[in-house]
Amino acid sequence: MNATDHNVKPVPQMITSGETALGIEFGSTRIKAVLIDRRGVVISSGSHAWENQLVNGLWTYPEEAIWSGLQAAYADLATHVASDYGVALHTTGALGISAMMHGYIALNSAGKLLVPFRTWRNTNTGRAVAELSPALSFSIPHRWSAAHLYQALLDHEPHTTRLARITTLSGLVHERLTGQPILGVGDASGMFPIDPATHDYDDKRIAAFDELTRNLGFHHSIKELLPTVACAGTNAGYLTAAGAALLDPTGNLQPGIPMCPPEGDAGTGMVATNSVAPRTGNVSAGTSIFAMVVLEKALTHVHSELDLVTTPDGSPVAMVHSNNGTSEWDQWIRVFSALLDAAGASLPMPELYDLAYQKALEGAPDGGGLVAFNFLSGEPIVGLDSGHPLFMRSPDSSITLENFLRTQLMTIFGVLREGFDVLVHDEDVTVDKLVAQGGLFKTPVVAQRLMAAALNTPVEVRATAGEGGPWGMALLALYAARHSQEPLADFLTHTIFTDENSTTISPYPEDVAGFNSFMERYRAALPAEKALSD
């Protein structure tokens, strides 16, 4: 976008005067920084690739990768700003940090990590979940911070004797930038249950948790360890001099930037798809895949398949979370790319992805009798503590390129379907449509059509689908900077999503029937997957 695209003021002037908002999100494979104007239009962006590691049986990122990645993503943004607009980035009007939800960051009294960051991908918390969920009358997922803490106590991990605080990745980065141990309510709802009436941790469940941990010899209340909860639209501190130097070691960035509450990628996905009002829902598809539906009323039962979290402004949300998303699909695309390279007929990766998606759409609606699992890690919804990618077929199945690719795409939605069935059929929750975002939907129609079939629900993809969570975080920063009493849903509808460019696909009957047949094979084959995982 160039300066003439803005009617109010030239972009360089907006940048130098700080009439912008910056969102930085730590995704599973990429850290991205997005700079927007006062209308939510993207001015510039920067990114940095990183990868999790399996160390001593736990998924983690080295601590130094957090800070070097943060600096690299910001530096990339600043480079693009200087190149595109001829100005240096010294300030922004607002700043917000988001990151993959859940997991476990344990800190001592000096704010230092006691153990490596444990990500949402870890499913070593089975005993903790089995004990906590009935005791709290609440479905505590494997990846929640409370589950990780309780499991560490069950395992008598030495670090628990020096524990002063726990937080999430977004909370850690926010604290280093501001000095404030604050967390947005959406991200906090992935640490411990939130009381919808107070938008704070549920006191009754705090008491129940504390009683359990006292029996394990732990004499802190978990509330003493958790970060302070803040709702969207509130101030969560200011960028300190030390924070500015951490973010931008060149010294160009000045301190004093107001910061909004840090959030999780679920919350930023809701914002980026304008899905924060009741009966709205969205799906984010990347390394993991999750669907979120804003509830009109409380669920009638506790379901292990459903997580209860909140929007960034505190409304209750039912989430279906699959640990495994597009990673296995990406692996297969790399295999086909290597084959093309060996034949001297290479294609650029974006073109190869587009071709693979289109060929998948030509496959049989049920995938030709094939079945696959994309489980690189465990999947609690289907009872797996660990994962093994698996592809199977019967002797009479039709193994064509088209069927193989369609099957690999359909399996991405398999776990999502299992949880969504509970939400719709067991709880009678109404979803008018789902708004999809993430790289899976950059190629038009294909994944959108398959997801509509998998969930038997209309799926909308907007022109902003590729912007994703970092853009959503920038919007939350902008919202907080306005100091407005306007509800978040109204701000998004009336200020940001005023000229929507979107396409909606309703389920094709033949696709729905085909996906149902695929799910029959999927469920029948799960014992084989479980046998590999035992």
pLDDT in tens, 73-97: 999 999 999 999 999 999 999 999 9
Interval 18-49: pLDDT, tens? 999 999 999 989 999 999 999 999 999 999 99
Categorize the per-residue pLDDT at 431 as very low, low, confident or very high, splitting at 50, 70 and 90: confident
Residue 376 CB burial class (10 angstroms; 0-12, 13-18, ≥19): buried
Of residues 116 and 433, more confidence is placed in: 116
Q: What is the spatial distance between Cα 236 and Cα 124, in angstroms, rounded to a whole number?
A: 33
* Secondary structure class of 44 (helix, strand, coil): strand
Q: What is the spatial distance between Cα 291 and Cα 434, in angstroms, rounded to a whole number?
A: 8
pLDDT reported for residue 133: 96
Interval 159-211: pLDDT, tens? 999 999 999 999 999 999 999 999 999 999 999 999 999 999 999 999 999 99
- Decide if pLDDT at 8 tops 70: no
Average pLDDT over residues 270-275: 91
Tokens of 228: 């302070």
pLDDT reported for residue 288: 87
Instruction: Provide the H-helix boundaries in 164-226.
Output: 169-178, 185-188, 203-214, 222-225
- Decide if pLDDT at 485 tops 90: no
Pairing of β 53-55 and β 58-60: antiparallel
* Secondary structure class of 418 (helix, strand, coil): helix
Q: What is the spatial distance between Cα 307 and Cα 189, in angstroms, rounded to a whole number?
A: 10
Instruction: Provide the H-helix boundaries in 323-467.
Output: 327-342, 349-361, 401-410, 414-421, 446-455
Residues 6 or more apart from 505 whose CB is under 8 A from it? 445, 448, 449, 452, 458, 459
| Mean pLDDT computed over every residue of the chain | 93
What are the C-alpha distances in Å from 337 to residues 349, 359, 408?
8, 15, 16
Following CA atoms 16, 20, 21, 26 in sequence, which dihedral angle do they give, to the nearest 10 degrees? -60
pLDDT-wise least confident of 121-135, 233-247, 339-353, 434-448: 434-448
Q: What is the spatial distance between Cα 276 and Cα 278, in angstroms, rounded to a whole number?
A: 7
Categorize the per-residue pLDDT at 402 as very low, low, confident or very high, splitting at 50, 70 and 90: very high
CB 438 within 8 A of CB 288: no
Categorize the per-residue pLDDT at 466 as very low, low, confident or very high, splitting at 50, 70 and 90: low
pLDDT reported for residue 4: 38
pLDDT reported for residue 110: 95
Average pLDDT over residues 291-318: 92
pLDDT-wise least confident of 131-140, 252-261, 285-294, 404-413: 285-294
How many Cα neighbours within 13 Å face the side chain of 167?
A: 28
Following CA atoms 352, 358, 364, 368 in sequence, which dihedral angle do they give, to the nearest 10 degrees? 10
Q: What is the spatial distance between Cα 448 and Cα 468, in angstroms, rounded to a whole number?
A: 16
Write a three-state SS string for 101-151: CCCEEEECCCCCECCCCECCCCCCCHHHHHHHHHHHCCCCCCCCHHHHHHH
pLDDT reported for residue 464: 65
CB 187 within 8 A of CB 271: no
What are the C-alpha distances in Å from 213 to residues 132, 206, 209, 220?
10, 11, 6, 8
Residue 7 CB burial class (10 angstroms; 0-12, 13-18, ≥19): exposed
For residue 394, which of 368, 360, 366, 412 has the smallest C-alpha distance?
368
Crossing angle of helices 446-455/401-410, nearest 10°? 60
- Decide if pLDDT at 2 tops 50: no
Categorize the per-residue pLDDT at 463 as very low, low, confident or very high, splitting at 50, 70 and 90: confident
Q: Full-prediction pTM beyond 0.75?
A: yes
- Decide if pLDDT at 141 tops 60: yes
- Decide if pLDDT at 516 tops 90: yes
